[in-house]
Structure 1
Amino acid sequence: MQAGAQYKYELLWIILLASCASFVIQSLAANLGVVTGKHLAEQCRSEYPKVPNFMLWIIAEIAVVACDIPEGINTSLLFCYLIGTAFALNMLFSMPVWIGVPLTGLSTMVLLKIQKYGVRKLEFLIAILVFTMAISFFVELHYSKPDPGEILHGLFVPQLKGNGATGLAISLLGAMVMPHNLFLHSALVLSRNIPRSTTGIKKACRFYLIESGLALMVAFLINVSVISVSGAVCNAPNLSPEDRANCENLDLNKASFLLRNVLGKWSSKLFAIALLASGQSSTITGTYAGQYIMQGFLDLKLKPWLRNLLTRCLAIIPSLIVSLIGGSAGAGKLIIIASMILSFELPFALVPLLKFTSCKTKMGSHVNSIWITALTWIIGLLIMGINIYYIVTSFIKLLLHSHMKLVAVIFCGIIGFAGIAIYLASIAYLVLRKNREATPLVETLPRQDIVNMQSDVTL
């Protein structure tokens, strides 16, 4: 919404790029779990030495905290925030944001307990509410009448104009290609009963490819409509002074005015209800991701309720502090900052995934083809290039425009560039390090042949 309000349709190409990247990357994550029988965190634990593995765990936990604040429902990415749920409670019941944050965590714990009695019903209810919001934006898209030519231009002509465009583009990337999704997606496929044969594995990989494609197509349409609506409404020539003020400082408390043409006075209530439901769904997703990450990297045998409590506390504490200090405005800024953190941390999940799925000894006959390998590395390098460009240029601008004394500027510059060097060196380590030699998976044999082979070996 902020991308549309500030830059109209100029950042739509980021949505297209991120959707394509998510499609390729999520399919690789699913393939890794299906073929190897281990999710990404478990593969990292068995692949890397203790110190790098521990550091990757810390980075993954930070990513869970960051994505639990502005996280979308898996791939739909529509207004699903831990803070967003607090905003919804504020809009529905005039409840302060700082009270809504801990209530969100408690309600998530309750839902995690209740869902074992009917998780499909809970998912169906949330899906209805989210798609109600999606339909509202599709109808609003008709009322706002954006220029189709400008939308196509924004989709296929990359541009980053303005001081904040690069930062907002990185936030969009981080909010759509989320590190926790790679760990979660590679783990969720393990809950299915997949035949351990070449045909069975290929069918499963094809199924998850189609599933991701359909979900991301819906996500793409929703995100394009949201940006197009906010771009058309906030850049209309006959915009009222009140709406113009809302567009200049757009946050979740004010965003319901975008649906006023469709829903009238009920726009804020429906927006809040859908926001509340999707926020709950996203925090459940974040909880599951935290469980898989903690279990995979550390192999901790904690009870589920304790893992849930740890994950919730890690997400709630920073949100609560910011909402207490900065209110709704500070919480809104935290959403963008958290999304940027996700983008910066993406290489630490993406690079291991690309290396594992391109490894013959791990994937056997299901290893990435040369074309897929080249495409995924190009995507990864583009994302890393945008991140590095933004970090370096922003830090240089910060130093040049600071009012500190020269000695302080030099000192901060040394520390800052040392941190950037460590960041680059860490990524280079993951890229250049050779995979360990592993025993090839016996996934090309039917289950009975594997049993017979094991019997022969025993004899």
Structure 2
Amino acid sequence: MDVLSSKQDSGWRHKRGEASLSDVHRSISISHSGSRWRRLAAFAGPGYLVAVGYMDPGNWATSLAGGSKFGYALLAVALLSNLMAIVLQSLCARLAIASGRDLAQACRDAFPKWVSIPLWALAEIAIIATDIAEVIGTAIGLNLIFGIPLELGVLITALDVFIILYLQKMGFRWIEALIITLLGVIAVCFAIQIFLADPQWGGVIRGFFPTTEIVTNPEMLYLALGILGATVMPHNLYLHSGIVQTRNYGHTLPEKKEALTYATIDSTVALCFALLINASILILAAAAFNSTGRTEVAELGEAHSLLAPLLGLAIAPTLFGIALLCCGLNSTVTATLAGQIVMEGFLKMKLQPWVRRLITRAIAIIPAAGVTIWYGDAGTAHLLILTQVVLSLQLSFAVFPLVMFTASKAKMGELVAPIWLSAIAWLIAVVIAGLNVKLLVDFVAG
């Protein structure tokens, strides 16, 4: 352990243990002699794995529901959520690079067990909620493209673990390459669909400016929180703080400062790309459904079947299905990695990736299969939106520790977050907590 890290370890209750994802920890070399563009390219990758969580199938359900019911009005929530995400993900990179810990390890090393164990349980609940959304999204994607029944599609999703295992053996860069390729496919699919939908661009621009109705209308607030839960996701905070450490950026303070700069650029650019995808889903729903009076479209299957007659081209539903399937596969990879980081970080428990994956997926398949069999498409739509609200309610339990750690000079040393950044982060944490309290009050009040 380097001298700098030894000094910072004095600010924690426990010494730093073995890194999570140890097989890929610092496995990607960084050249300090190449051009700045080359060094930036070496850091590019983790941000796109994080961005995947901001456009998973659960996000589709909330964005479709929001766009069809309220038009372009909730674009402001998508933008605000994305800005929050940029701030929080930059803090994840700062925590990892400054302390050598991911967020799960930091919670374990900073808090007594009676605090860290419940935090671990809540993180696992968030990952299972995420996985339920991915199971349903992938199954619907398989159904839309290949006609595979939803019940069978749910079971097929258990096999995706073999794709991840194969890529992990080839090297972490291969995982990043797969993710970025699938993101490119998603972007092309939506670009074509938006072109076909021909939205009112004046309404789109106005939609990025918030209105008070978002808070005063309980139904709009419920969907807004769903979008927030689908955008700023708890497992992404754990994931980013772990995978940033796949880069071998060095141990000196200048090297760490450079790594923080490039890692922040990587995540910010990737999240701006995620905003484009999220906004595209909502714009497509508003242009294709809300403008034609179909204000209750929340089911992915229903949206798929309506696109051809509304947009006038048979290829539109196919593009929708392909993009959805790519999102489901992408999210599967990142949820697996986040699950490993959470379990290893909180509990120091190492499982084979395929064991960890199958446990999480088995827990997710049970409710997904049950709802699919008994309630069909309508049930899966409600379950998707519910998972996103659950994620929103879990979010504070990851955000508050993250902001606390990165604002502490004792824990972060010279890389402690500036006062202005900590102030913004605390404001974000309080806003998220406040919105969740209001959601619970409205829910209890009926």
| TM-score normalised by structure 1 residue count | 0.78
Does 2:283 correspond to 1:228? yes
Rate the CA distance shift 1:259–1:360 in 2: closer, same or farther, 3 A: farther
Paired residues of 2:77 and 2:210 also in contact (CA < 8 A)? no
- State the secondary structure of the residue aligned to 1:264: coil
Aligned partner letter, 2:93: A
Q: RCO higher in 1 or 2 (8 Å CA, sep ≥ 6)?
A: 2
CA gap of 1:251–1:311, structure 2 versus 1, over 3 A, is same
- Report if aligned partners of 1:32, 1:186 keep a CA contact under 8 Å in 2: yes
- The answer as to 2:367 corresponding to 1:318 is yes
> Aligned to 1:153, which of 181, 187, 206?
206
CA 1:28–1:85 in structure 2 vs 1: closer, same or farther (change >3 Å)?
A: same
Q: Which moved more, 1:369-378 or 1:307-316?
A: 307-316
After superposition, the C-alpha distances for 1:361-383 in whole angstroms (9 at most, x for unaligned) are 11001111110111001111111
* Shift, 1:313, TM fit: 1.8
**1:38 equivalenced with 2:84 (yes/no):** no
Write the distance in 1 (CA, Å) between the matches of 2:86 and 2:328: 23
Q: Match for residue 300 of structure 2?
A: 252
Q: Contact 2:218–2:442 at 8 Å: present in 1 too?
A: no
Q: Which moved more, 1:321-330 or 1:51-60?
A: 321-330
Change beyond 3 A, Cα 1:140–1:44:
same
C-alpha separation in 2, matches of 1:334 and 1:394 = 16
> How many angstroms does 1:266 deviate by?
2.7
- Asked if structure 2 preserves the Cα contact closer than 8 Å seen for 1:60 and 1:293, the reply is yes
SS in 1 for 2:301: coil
C-alpha contact 1:32 1:363 (8 A) present in aligned 2: yes
Deviation (angstroms), 1:166: 0.9
Q: Distance in 1 between matches of 2:203 and 2:234?
A: 32
Q: Unmatched 5+ residue regions in structure 1?
A: 71-80, 399-459
Larger Rg: 1
Check conservation: 1:11, 1:155, Cα contact below 8 A. yes
Structure 1 residue 234, shift from structure 2 partner: 1.5
> In the TM superposition, what are the counterparts of 1:343-382 in structure 2 within 5 Å?
343-382=392-431
Identify if the C-alpha distance between structure 1 residues 381 and 368 changes in structure 2 by more than 3 Å, giving closer, same or farther: same
1:132 aligns with 2:195: no
Aligned equivalent of 1:109 = 161
> Out of 79, 83, 91, which is 1:16 matched to?
79
Secondary structure of 2:154 counterpart = helix
C-alpha change, 1:371 and 1:123, in structure 2 (3 Å) is: closer
**Are 2:345 and 1:296 aligned?**
yes
Q: Which residue of 2 aligns with 1:192?
A: 247
In structure 2, runs of 5+ residues without a counterpart are 1-63
**Which runs of structure 2 are paired with 1:29-108 in the superposition (5 Å)?**
29-70=92-133, 81-106=134-159, 108=160
- In 1, the alpha carbon distance for the partners of 2:323 and 2:208 equals 27
Residue 87 of structure 1 and its aligned partner are, at CA, apart by 0.5
Q: AA paired with 2:228?
A: L
Q: 1:311 to 1:385 in 2, by over 3 A?
A: same
Letter of the 2:403 partner, please give it.
L
Spell out, residue by residue over 1:196-218, the C-alpha distance to the aligned partner (whole angstroms, 9 max, x if none): 11111111110111111111111
Q: Quick one: distance in 2 between partners of 1:281 and 1:338?
A: 18
Quickly say closer, same or farther: Cα 1:55–1:210, change in 2 above 3 A. Answer: same
Equivalent in the alignment of 2:7: none
Q: What's the CA shift for 1:128?
A: 4.1
Instruction: Quote the Cα distance in structure 1 between the aligned partners of 2:413 and 2:220.
Output: 43
Relative distance call for 1:359 and 1:103 in structure 2 (3 A) is: same
| Alpha-carbon distance, 1:123 to partner | 5.2
Alignment RMSD (CA, Å): 2.1
AA partner of residue 334 (structure 2): T
- Equivalent residue in structure 2 for 1:210, among 265, 273, 279: 265
Deviation at 1:190, TM superposition (A): 1.3
Q: 1:13 to 1:262 in 2, by over 3 A?
A: same
Structure 1 residue identity aligned to 2:300? L
Question: Partners of 2:311 and 2:259 in 1: how far apart?
Answer: 42
Distance 1:263 1:105 in 2: 36
Aligned partners of 2:280, 2:308: CA distance in 1, in Å?
A: 12
- Is the 1:126–1:278 Cα contact (8 Å) retained in structure 2? no
Distance across 2 between alignment mates of 1:134 and 1:263: 21
Instruction: Give 1:402's aligned residue.
Output: none
**Residue-pair matches, total:** 379
> Contact 1:140 / 1:261 at 8 angstroms: preserved in 2?
no
For 1:301-327, what per-residue CA distance to the aligned partner results, in whole angstroms no more than 9, with x for missing partners? Answer: 333332222222222222222222222
Q: Give the C-alpha shift of residue 120 in structure 1.
A: 5.1
Q: Name 1:335's counterpart in structure 2.
A: 384
DSSP-derived class of the 1:10 partner: coil
1:376 and 1:249 mapped to 2: Cα distance?
A: 35
TM-score, normalised to structure 2's length? 0.80
Q: State which of 167, 172, 177 in structure 1 corresponds to 2:232.
A: 177
**One-letter identity of the residue aligned with 1:367:** V
